[in-house]
Structure 1
Amino acid sequence: MTKKPLIIRTLPVIFAAALGACATAPVAPPEAKPAIPAAPAAPVTEPASPATARPLRIDGASSLIAVTVRRAGLLAKLGHDHVVASRHIEGQAVAPANGQPGSTSFRFRLDELTVDESALRAEAGLSSVPAADAIAGTRNNMLTKVLDAEKYPYVEVTAVTTRDGPMQAAITLHGVTRRYAVPAVLTARADGVNASGTLTLRQTDFGITPFAVFGGALAVQDELELRFNINAVNVTR
């Protein structure tokens, strides 16, 4: 099996567009900016390397990418913060071996994202729960007016772990690829490897204009708070 860079196409930002059921007309993407360096990362804890590299597959049923999208503006109290998540992640990985870095690549579909699961809202510290019609409107606007999910159906991630530094990940969203140093912890398990951590992304780095209405009085913050828990399990032959 060919080794692929360990990617976390997560993450991402997809979710940024999810604030409020209100929408604005799409704005032309700004000129691409260089990726913004991530905050200093906690050391990556690599699993003990086996004698030979092990092919792994991403277990979508037990993996999660969740993004918290927060409101902004003078009328922010009239809106809601949201949590957008993916539980349908597909991809493969190679476990570290003989001192060599591990790698992974995965992707998930935007039209399979969930919005405001009650358990995820609670984990994010959001006490209120939007009405069902508000959640449905938020999801529709996110997919059609912000993310253009028909044209860009997937978020894709590739990543490579290093022994002396953070995970190096490339995230492709809305047709734009950005590279990040991701604070992550890798944990060896009997059936594979788990990767978990958090990352802050900006919508504008992917050519996405944050939602805003009433001249910006009610808007979505540019920054998105992303957390991931990815399980890669042994491939049975």
Structure 2
Amino acid sequence: MAKNPRPLSTIATTTRSRALPAALLCLLLCACAPAALTPPAVPAAPSSPSSTGKPGARPAAPARPSAPAAPAGQPPAAAPPAGAKPPAAPANYYDQARAAGRQVLRIDARNSLIAVTVRRGGALARFGHDHVVASRAIEGQAVAPANGQPGRTDFRFRLDEMIVDDSALRAHAGLNSPPSADAIAGTRSNMLTKALNAEKFPYVQLSATSASLDGPLQADITLQGVTRRYAIPAKLTATGAGLSASGALTIKQSDFGITPFAVFGGAIAVQDQLELRFDIVATLNGTINGVTNGTINAPR
């Protein structure tokens, strides 16, 4: 007598139970890198049939994707069109300052740093990693506030020159377990190609003014073609050699149209907030990408 076949529901249940651990492992590994900063993909416009329904008629034009909405509870900030150059000082601002007898300083890249800590979140956060990305390749100019005249700085840095998970910077951020070399390489690749689209938006731009050395800085930060304004508490110090500024602030990825990555309903996620700290040094003989005593224009 032939044996009764196993019910289909039993077979499906067994298959799902074997597949779940593998799927869970894949998703946990994907959540470790700042691919978590990946912005939402713009869905491709479907091919629409002609309104007449006649064969051979041209399809309707696809709809343009809408711009990202401002975060809830915050006033919308002006955002230039995608790919547009960020706002900057007038082309002759630093020439005019120099002609007026004010010292025009250059950013000293050897002694300047911008570091951003990206932290994991969610109930299963222990399966992910926190990361620190930083730049020491900062270029720009500055004028210190003096004699009742406000100070100003304009500088920028390239995303593809950022350092990922430097051991000393991780230790400063309180992160004592460095990811593997493969994880760091994957984080860098995902950050540049998926999260930040560095090919289209290669620079992060900052323009800031201050009425006095007591601050705060009124700063416009431009990332991914979106500009937001922040009042940044900062310590400004003028010396005979130049000017330094240091401080910290927290920004949100969503403020720049970036949606933090999450799976399992948020059980594994990257936090929306980014912790940014900076130490910027500007001198008369600043170093720009290893070149001293050079002349550069305000980034724009």
Checking the alignment, whether the CA contact within 8 Å between 1:55 and 1:94 is kept in structure 2 is yes
CA deviation vs aligned residue, 1:50-99 (integer Å, no higher than 9, x gap): x9421001111110000111001121000111111001000011122222
Checking the alignment, whether the CA contact within 8 Å between 2:238 and 2:244 is kept in structure 1 is yes
TM-score normalised to structure 1 length: 0.80
Identity of aligned residues (%): 67
User: Which residue in the other structure is 1:160 paired with?
Assistant: 209
Residue 144 and residue 67 in structure 1: after superposition, are their counterparts in 2 closer, same or farther (change >3 A)?
same
Aligned equivalents of 1:216, 1:168: Cα separation in 2: 34
User: Which residue in the other structure is 1:6 paired with?
Assistant: none
CA deviation vs aligned residue, 1:133-177 (integer Å, no higher than 9, x gap): 011111111111110111110000000012365110000001100
User: Which residue in the other structure is 1:32 paired with?
Assistant: 70
Out of 116, 133, 157, the position equivalent to 1:108 is 157
Aligned equivalents of 2:75, 2:281: Cα separation in 1: 27
Residue 181 and residue 22 in structure 1: after superposition, are their counterparts in 2 closer, same or farther (change >3 A)?
closer
Aligned equivalents of 2:127, 2:230: Cα separation in 1: 34
Out of 228, 253, 261, the position equivalent to 1:203 is 253
Question: Is 1:124 matched with 2:173?
Answer: yes
User: Which residue in the other structure is 2:32 paired with?
Assistant: 20
| SS of equivalent to 1:170 | strand
Q: Which stretches in structure 1 are left out of the alignment for 5+ residues?
A: 1-18, 37-50
Larger strand share, 1 or 2: 1
Aligned equivalents of 2:229, 2:181: Cα separation in 1: 36
Larger helix share, 1 or 2: 2
Please report how far the alpha carbon of residue 22 of structure 1 lies from its aligned counterpart in structure 2 after TM superposition.
7.0
| SS of equivalent to 1:227 | strand
Query: Residue 204 of structure 1 aligns to which amino acid in structure 2?
Result: S
Checking the alignment, whether the CA contact within 8 Å between 1:75 and 1:217 is kept in structure 2 is yes
Query: Residue 136 of structure 2 aligns to which amino acid in structure 1?
Result: R
| SS of equivalent to 2:219 | strand
| SS of equivalent to 1:186 | strand
Aligned equivalents of 1:214, 1:145: Cα separation in 2: 21
Checking the alignment, whether the CA contact within 8 Å between 1:35 and 1:205 is kept in structure 2 is no
Question: Is 1:59 matched with 2:108?
Answer: yes
CA deviation vs aligned residue, 1:9-38 (integer Å, no higher than 9, x gap): xxxxxxxxxx733747741563134469xx
Larger Cα Rg: Structure 1 or Structure 2? 2
| SS of equivalent to 1:129 | coil
User: Which residue in the other structure is 2:235 paired with?
Assistant: 185
User: Which residue in the other structure is 2:288 paired with?
Assistant: none
Number of equivalent positions: 206
Report the RMSD for the aligned CA atoms in angstroms: 2.3
Aligned equivalents of 1:159, 1:66: Cα separation in 2: 18
Higher relative CO (CA 8 A, sep ≥ 6), structure 1 or 2? 1
Q: Which stretches in structure 2 are left out of the alignment for 5+ residues?
A: 1-30, 43-66, 77-99, 286-292, 295-300
Aligned equivalents of 1:126, 1:102: Cα separation in 2: 35
Aligned equivalents of 2:240, 2:280: Cα separation in 1: 15
